[in-house]
């Protein structure tokens, strides 16, 4: 058997092995909801412009010592999760109450965690809630929460600003 034949067999074997050993936890949405469903399901609907972006990483402190018998801190098995924090300059609030005209929007990084890809400087219509959707993955983590924050993802109706979405929201809010 030639070198190239052996090489091809090894590459094919490694690819097949990869399909059977890699677990994938992708984002799963239940289908697109209507404006009415989005407003009813979530605690806030706001319009605003993204003014900054920051990567946040938090550690589950309960895992720090759980894998060591001598109770010394070890980074070997510590669980971390990262997500983005965006600052949003609010221009209109359709649902929810905020004490400030700038709030924090939290979302995943994307790539399977349902994170929404906001771009600094763009205007958005944001449907969200004050509780993290990550808490179903690991409820022991101390996710940011409070009165001037909002969590959103691609499973909500969050979208770039567009007049037709605003008209639907206004129509629903009048009824």
The pLDDT value given to residue 78: 60
Q: How far apart are CA 154 and CA 114, in angstroms?
A: 5
Model pTM score: 0.75
Phi, psi of 147 (to 5 degrees): -80, -20
The pLDDT value given to residue 154: 93
Structure token pair of residue 133: 């959707």
Q: How far apart are CA 125 and CA 162, in angstroms?
A: 8
The pLDDT value given to residue 23: 41
Q: Is the dihedral of CA 58, 59, 60, 62 positive or negative?
A: negative
3-state secondary structure 66-82: CCCCCCCCCCCCCCEEE
Write out the E strands in 60-122: 80-95, 102-107
Q: How far apart are CA 150 and CA 41, in angstroms?
A: 14
Mean pLDDT per 10-residue interval, the chain, length 175 residues: 65 54 59 92 96 91 51 57 95 94 94 91 96 75 86 95 96 82
The pLDDT value given to residue 3: 62
CA distances from 8 to 15, 18, 21, 91, 164 (A): 11, 15, 20, 58, 54
The pLDDT value given to residue 8: 65
Q: How far apart are CA 12 and CA 18, in angstroms?
A: 10
Rama region for 8: left / alpha / beta (φ>0; ψ in -120 to 50; rest): alpha
The pLDDT value given to residue 151: 95
Domains of the chain: 29-174 (2.40.50.120)
């Amino acid at each position: 058997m030639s070198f190239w034949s052996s090489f091809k067999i090894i590459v094919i074997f490694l690819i097949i092995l990869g399909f059977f050993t890699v677990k994938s936890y992708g984002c799963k949405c239940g289908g697109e909801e209507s404006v009415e469903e989005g407003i009813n399901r979530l605690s806030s609907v706001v319009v605003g412009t993204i003014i900054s972006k920051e990567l946040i990483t938090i550690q589950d402190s309960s895992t720090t010592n759980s894998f060591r018998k001598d109770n010394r801190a070890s980074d070997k098995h510590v669980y971390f999760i990262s997500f983005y924090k965006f600052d949003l300059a609010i221009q209109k609030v359709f649902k929810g109450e905020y004490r400030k005209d700038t709030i924090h929007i939290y979302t995943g990084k994307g790539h399977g965690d349902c994170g929404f890809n906001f771009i600094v400087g763009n205007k958005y219509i944001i449907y969200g809630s004050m509780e993290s959707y990550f808490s179903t993955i690991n409820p022991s983590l101390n996710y940011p929460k409070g009165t001037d924050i909002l969590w959103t993802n691609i499973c909500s109706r969050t979208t770039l600003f567009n007049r037709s979405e605003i008209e639907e929201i206004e129509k629903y809010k009048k009824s």
